[in-house]
Structure 1
């Protein structure tokens, strides 16, 4: 049984999708061992507590540097014997220390078809650029923002009457599908990283 850590900062809708997928059997061979937030009032953290998970607020203000914060998080993850770290709206850039401690074991979801529109406000970027198709991407995390090897992507059309809210809502529905799907592949040893390519094994 693979042990997951979920890091979040807000409402935790992708975390809830992961939790539900485990409950429904759509993610097999995995359990959520801990949920961590850098925001004490994050709704995702409250949900985690409500369903009986180990849910912890870690205050960034208690640490003198970003790396000290990450070292504390890594120590907790090591103590929980974590196999895969899932970033689910975690609004902090993680340091090289964290990335190296869990190399190829940290994944993230981003609301665009990377490498297009990395960083903040991806949906707004897509609308302003005038693309006809955008979407979402699950990728491994490396030291550059929204840059690591791509695991899964899902396309979402952009309509003429879209605004940021309507486009974000449609993208989010697809995020809730492909993030659990990607996790299920990883925890069942179905993916292999070759350079920048992630190969999904057929058997």
Structure 2
């Protein structure tokens, strides 16, 4: 069976990246293989963890590579070298440019901490709390040229209580992300190899 080569994009501590690596090592990603971590923050927790685990990294700021366009060309070259089949955006805090989107149409998924189309963009948890809604959730969707607007692959609800703090909601959302993301990645890989 073909191995599906996966690049994970992460900007921060990389808890979802860690979860995917753990899932692969526990044989829970099917034919999926985490081949590359891409980060715009060379000193992030995600990059440290990838290096610790022996996973290839592409960790450069846009400034280091003389702007977003050069960064995108460099990352496309890196992914072609590694024959990347799927991109998973897991806590990646930059908007992806059209060159990468076009090269990976229907092969790039994003993890977003709300029930899209509600609360797009940054600080979705803060937006949900400010709106005083009864629930929020997690969405995994395909990436297209519009922000958090691509076709939805999976969603899971997370109830909210009036007394909830930001931290409580963030922890509940993260638990759901850690369960939902590996499952969706595994399903995508299985479908790809059929």
TM-score of the aligned structures, taking structure 2 as reference length: 0.95
**SS of alignment partner, residue 191 of structure 2:** coil
Structure 1 residues not aligned, in runs of 5+: 191-202
Equivalent of residue 40 in structure 1, options 24, 42, 51 = 42
Runs ≥4 residues deviating over 4 A? none
Name the residue aligned to 1:105.
Answer: 107
Deviations 1:115-153 (A, max 9, x none): 000001101111111110110001110011111111111
Please say if 1:130 is aligned against 2:132. Answer: yes
Structure 2 residues not aligned, in runs of 5+: none
**Between Structure 1 and Structure 2, how many residues are aligned?**
192
1:56 shift after superposition: 2.7
Q: Distance in 2 between matches of 1:177 and 1:59?
A: 30
Equivalent of residue 9 in structure 1, options 8, 11, 15 = 11
Equivalent of residue 60 in structure 2, options 46, 55, 58 = 58
Contact 2:58 2:75 in 1 (8 A): no
Equivalent of residue 81 in structure 1, options 83, 91, 99 = 83
**SS of alignment partner, residue 144 of structure 2:** coil
TM-score of the aligned structures, taking structure 1 as reference length: 0.91
Cα RMSD (Å) of the superposition? 1.5
